[in-house]
Amino acid sequence: DIQMTQSPSSLSASVGDRVTITCRASQSINMFLSWFQQRPGKAPNLLIFSASTLQNGVPSRFSGSGSETDFTLTISSLQPEDFATYYCQQTYTTPYSFGQGTRLGLK
């Protein structure tokens, strides 16, 4: 199975900050990497797929990069609604797997 490891596990930031979350796969997954945002009590919401493609309707302050084993999610200027938990996920091979999550909180 492919293990997905995110860092950091938690992060504190302020509105307007630039934030980067990293995700590492235990083996190459090409660009088969998605990023999700999850607010408390809600379903995950797809932000980015294919490592760097923005899902329709997602604000352009979100961006993704990377390939093979190392990936990043960047939020260029944090907005109040961005404080949530973020997950990466690989769909390169089954069993599909998620990172453990990064909780982004208000400083």
Partner 1 sequence: QVQLQESGPGLVKPSETLSLTCTVSGGSIRRYYWSWIRQPPGKGLEWIGYISDTGSTNYHPSLKSRVTMSLDTSKNQFSLKVNSVTASDTAVYFCARMTYAIPGRFDYWGQGTLVTVSS
Which residues of the shown chain bind partner 1 in the complex (CB under 8 A)?
1, 30-32, 34, 36, 42-46, 49-50, 55, 87, 89, 91-92, 94-101
Residue 103's beta-bridge partner residues?
Answer: 10, 85
Angle (CA) 13-18-80 rounded to 5° is 55
Closer of 37 and 75 to partner 1 (Cβ): 37
Residue 80 three-state SS: helix
Of 13 and 31, which has the nearer Cβ to partner 1?
31
Closest approach, Cβ 31 to partner 1, in A, equals: 7
